[in-house]
């Protein structure tokens, strides 16, 4: 066993930190898109639009039923072969698309369950004052479902941040890709991957703290 090269590790920290913005950019954009898509899918699952329901069920089943890495390869390497205008697709875009679709399928289920968890009386009160379906969803049901789903959704966001590391397989130099390059230059694989692991860990722990504050905020209305 050899000693860890601590100087190398310390020197590597700022290098990898430089790629944190790209990692977070991909995660935040994919999360925002996935939230919107998942909400639409979830609302559809609850109200069951005839002719659309089976498509949504199929979508959710496929993106939950296949590995994220396979989906990313399908988008980046596969789709451009069959769809012409996608030849220009770059790794970052493909990664964001893949993460969005993959996680929206999971999040749709979480949001659907949360919508179902909103008390029936809340729906009826909204209907009784003459709200349209859309108004009822946007103003009453989804905000309350958000509170129920929030802890689960934050967990998916954390999974998503870790999932961005797969973008390096599409040639994107994000945290993982940068580490890979550094390590293959220095041959200090253990040190390099330990540094990147710790950086991911710190980001995730920071988010866990944020989650507690978010929950306090969302529960404000419900505190006695």
Partner 1 sequence: MIRVRGLTKRFDGTAVLDGIDLDIADGERVVVIGPSGTGKSTLLRCLNFLDRPNAGTIEIGDVSVDAAKATKRDILALRRATSFVFQNYALFANKTAKENIMEALVTVHDRPRDEAERRALEVLGETGLAEKADSYPAALSGGQQQRVGIGRAMAIGADLMLFDEPTSALDPEWVGEVLDLMRRVAEQRQTMLIVTHEMQFAREIADRVVFMEGGRIVEEGPPQEVLEAPRDERLRRFLRRVS
Structure token pair of residue 133: 């379906």
Helix (H) and strand (E) counts for the chain? 11, 0
Question: Which CB atom, from 82 or from 129, has the smaller least distance to partner 1?
Answer: 129
Site for partner 1 in 98-127 (CB under 8 A): 119, 121-122, 124-127
Question: Which CB atom, from 56 or from 140, has the smaller least distance to partner 1?
Answer: 140
Q: Which of 30, 137, 140, 172 forms a contact with partner 1 (CB under 8 A)?
A: 140
Find out whether 112 and 46 touch, Cβ atoms under 8 Å. yes
Residue 224 CB, nearest approach to partner 1 (Å) = 6
Site for partner 1 in 57-96 (CB under 8 A): none
Task: Please enumerate in sequence order all residues whose Cβ is within 8 A of that of 81, keeping only pairs 6 or more positions apart, or say none.
Answer: none
Q: Which of 66, 132, 184, 206 forms a contact with partner 1 (CB under 8 A)?
A: 132
* Neighbour count for residue 69 (Cβ, 10 Å): 14
Find out whether 41 and 108 touch, Cβ atoms under 8 Å. yes
Phi/psi at 47 (5° precision): -90, -15
* Contact call for residue 212 and partner 1 (CB under 8 A): no
Task: Please enumerate in sequence order all residues whose Cβ is within 8 A of that of 28, keeping only pairs 6 or more positions apart, or say none.
Answer: none
Q: Which of 128, 185, 187, 209 forms a contact with partner 1 (CB under 8 A)?
A: 128
Question: Which CB atom, from 2 or from 120, has the smaller least distance to partner 1?
Answer: 120
Sole window of 18-26, 128-136, 195-203, 209-217 interacting with partner 1 (rule: CB under 8 A): 128-136
* Contact call for residue 47 and partner 1 (CB under 8 A): no
Find out whether 105 and 60 touch, Cβ atoms under 8 Å. yes
* Contact call for residue 195 and partner 1 (CB under 8 A): no
Q: Which of 28, 131, 194, 207 forms a contact with partner 1 (CB under 8 A)?
A: 131
Q: Give SS3 for 173.
A: coil
Q: What is the DSSP letter of 119?
A: -
**By the criterion CB under 8 A, which residues form the site for partner 1?**
119, 121-122, 124-132, 135, 139-140, 143-144, 147, 220-224
């Amino acid at each position: 066993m050899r000693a860890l090269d601590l100087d190398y590790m310390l020197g590597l920290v700022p290098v990898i930190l430089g790629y944190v913005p790209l990692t977070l950019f991909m995660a935040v954009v994919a999360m925002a898109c996935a939230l919107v898509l998942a909400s639409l899918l979830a609302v559809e699952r609850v109200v069951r639009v005839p002719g659309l329901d089976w498509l949504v069920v199929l979508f959710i089943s496929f993106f939950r039923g296949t590995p994220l890495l396979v989906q990313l390869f399908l988008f980046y390497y596969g789709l451009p072969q069959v769809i012409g205008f996608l030849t220009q697709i770059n790794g970052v875009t493909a990664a964001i698309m893949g993460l969005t679709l993959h996680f929206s399928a999971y999040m749709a289920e979480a949001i659907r369950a949360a919508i179902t968890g909103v008390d029936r009386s809340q729906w009826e009160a909204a209907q009784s004052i003459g709200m349209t379906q859309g108004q009822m969803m946007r103003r009453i049901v989804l905000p309350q479902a958000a509170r129920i789903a929030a802890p689960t959704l934050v967990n998916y966001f954390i999974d998503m941040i870790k999932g961005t590391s797969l973008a390096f397989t599409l040639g994107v130099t994000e945290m993982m890709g940068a580490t890979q390059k550094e390590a293959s230059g220095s041959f200090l694989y253990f040190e390099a991957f330990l540094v990147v692991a710790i950086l991911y860990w710190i980001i995730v722990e920071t988010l866990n703290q944020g989650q507690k504050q978010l929950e306090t905020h969302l529960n404000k209305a419900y505190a006695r």
